[in-house]
Amino acid sequence: MNQDIHAQLALKLPAWRSRLLLVLLLAWFAALAGRGLYLQGLHYGFLQQRGEARYSRVIELSATRGRIVDRNNEPLAISTPVESVAASPADVEAKADQVARLARLLEMDAAELGKKLSDTRREFVYLKRQLPPEEAARVVALGIPGVFLQREYRRYYPAGEVTAHLIGFTDVDDRGQEALELAFEPTLAGKPGSRRVIKDRLGNIVEDVESIRTPQDGATLKLSIDARLQYLAYRELKNAVTAHRARAGGIVVLDVASGEVLAMANAPSYNSNNRGKFDPRRTRNRAVTDLFEPGSTLKPFTAAAALEAGTVGPESVIRTAPGEFAIGNRTIRDAHPQGALTVSQVIQKSSNIGAAKMALGLKPETLWTLFNRVGFGAQPRSGFPGEVAGRLRAHASWRPIEQATMAYGHGISVSLLQLARAYLIFATDGELKPVTLVRREAPAENVRVIAPATAHAVRRMLEMVVQPGGTAPRAQIAGYRVAGKTGTAHKLEGNGYAPDKYVATFVGFAPASNPRLVVAVMIDEPSAGQYYGGTVAAPVFAQVTAGALRLLTAPYDAPVDNVVLPPPDAPEIKEEV
């Protein structure tokens, strides 16, 4: 019976079929093994990359931008952490209503937001930068997979408009755009780093895998600026520009001993914390980038050149009557005609004729050399971006009338910083110092321009300017001797000078017995009735210098009741070029 059954099975299941089935099974297992070998061995890198793309991310670690501080370590620019909303389009899973709610929170167009979220060609996209913390929290509360917060840094300026022209500002990526933020970008910026992390489907980091590059924070930049003096200078300048309805104004305060800039301000200013649209007319640092004709503030340099050449002495008499002096077909006039004046009185009364005659008694090269050596016609090399060189034409091209007008500041253009620096030769023993906006740790190398005797002689003349009978009695300061010079120059307009537009200036230093500060003030186009340097710019000098000397605890060098103003009915010593 069993034999019959086996015989029947043998007939129904030929041996070759079982062998074929076995071969097929072995082939299938071989194919699986081969595929496994291919995927795990030969094609491992590609598969690993595709797998990691679903959960592994390389995130950039921002470097903290370096702080900017004043000479006493008071912060002038700092970077604070903020949150930006970003997305990984490949991981985004959002319904239409979620996209609409997110668009409302970010104040974006829903269609535009949807387009960004659906662009899977990009692994990372910013949706909105630098949100306030409460807005960022509302975005997180939506719980949209693939939408997350990215830590960034935003620049903050504690002094706002007070230091805006000096410090500048950064863009949304924290890169310097203006002023010292731009000039010292390599120092302040640092170098960003990166890390590899694992994120879940909601975009949250669940594991920190490895550090690829460690971020290097930017270095701290210590300026020569004294924040206390900066506030004082800006306040007084702003008040003067407002009171005299001026177009603009600038002020520079220099440390006589080191050449450091202790304060530099402009008005009108702007708020550097406001990232809205900036008006280019308000963002430029006029004290460094704008040029003007300095007017009578150049007369002391003409006197110094004549004293150095030996053509005059402080008491040499120059005839200025009858108040007019013809040179060819041109006539030079004094706003307040005088008679015979000593060289000292020429500076005190600000006589154009007296300065012109001193200049014409010199070789053109002699006057040009002094102007050139004090830095006119060359960049002051303060390190500020966009600083200008000014205009000082070659002496070989000077005609007599040009040499005469150059003596009182016409036909030459300077910046306020250049003018302030040039006055250092009178505040020292005739030495010119390099200026800097960065705190100076070691003494700078000085250059002698004039002899000490010449510097002291001109300093005495400049002290006469602020006394009754001079052009700037309003520059006097209680308890301190002051020396300085006014300037009231017509503004260039078209091919000539505007009859009713002026630049009023005053440059001085104190205490005159042992100068500590040089302060230069410029008021552009005062239009409230007064326009002389002695009435518009000199009071600003007095207020700023008096406050600064008290802050610096400079010892008195005069009685506290030394201020002597002319009687109210006394005629004003006019000055106009």
Q: Tell me the CATH number for domain 58-222.
A: 3.90.1310.10
What pTM did the predictor assign?
0.85
Higher pLDDT, 7 or 348: 348
What pLDDT score was predicted for residue 106? 85
Q: Quick one: what percent of the chain has pLDDT higher than 70?
A: 89
Residue pair 395/389 in contact by the 8 Å Cβ criterion = no
Model confidence pLDDT, tens digit, residues 509-559: 999 999 999 999 999 999 998 999 999 999 999 999 999 999 999 999 999
31 CB neighbour count, 10 Å cutoff: 10
| Residue 170 CB burial class (10 angstroms; 0-12, 13-18, ≥19) | buried
Mean pLDDT confidence for 257-265 = 97
The length of the chain, given as a count of residues: 577
DSSP 552: T
Q: Domain 227-272+290-551 is of which CATH architecture?
A: 3-Layer(aba) Sandwich (3.40)
* The pLDDT value given to residue 92: 81
Contact 298, 338 (CB under 8 A): no
Q: Residue 43 — pLDDT band, cuts 50, 70, 90? A: low
CA distance 192 to 181: 18
- Element housing 538 (H / E): helix 538-551
Strands 496-510, 483-493: pairing kind: antiparallel
More confident residue, 408 or 200: 408
Domain(s) of CATH 3.90.1310.10: residues in the chain? 58-222
Q: Residue 84: its pLDDT value, please?
A: 85
Q: Hey, how many other C-beta atoms are within 10 angstroms of the C-beta on 249?
A: 30
Q: Where on the phi/psi map is residue 208: left (φ > 0), alpha (ψ -120 to 50), or beta?
A: beta
Whether the per-residue pLDDT at 332 is higher than 90: the answer is: yes
Q: State the pLDDT at residue 347.
A: 97
Cβ atoms of residues 304 and 424 within 8 Å: no
Mean pLDDT across 299-320: 97
Residues of the chain with CATH 3.40.710.10: 227-272+290-551
DSSP letters of 160-214? GGGSHHHH--B-TTS-B-SHHHHHTHHHHH-B-EEEEEEE-TTS-EEEEEEEEE-
Q: Is the pLDDT of residue 232 over 60?
A: yes
Query: What is the structure's pLDDT at 149?
Result: 83
126 vs 200, higher pLDDT: 126
User: Tokens for 111?
Assistant: 């269609």
pLDDT tens, position by position, 283-307: 899 999 999 999 999 999 999 999 9
Residues 481 and 510 sit within 8 Å (Cβ to Cβ):
yes
| pLDDT band at residue 393 under the 50/70/90 scheme | very high
Burial degree of 568 (CB within 10 A; 0-12, 13-18, 19+): exposed
Say how far apart CA 411 and CA 391 lie, in whole Å: 8
The count of C-alpha atoms lying within 13 angstroms of the C-alpha of 368, restricted to the half-sphere facing its C-beta, is 15
What is the model's pLDDT at position 88? 79
Tokens encoding 81: 């952490």
**Residue 204 confidence class, pLDDT cut points 50, 70, 90:** low
Residue 7: pLDDT band (50, 70, 90) is low
Q: Give the mean pLDDT of the chain.
A: 88
Cite the active site residues.
296
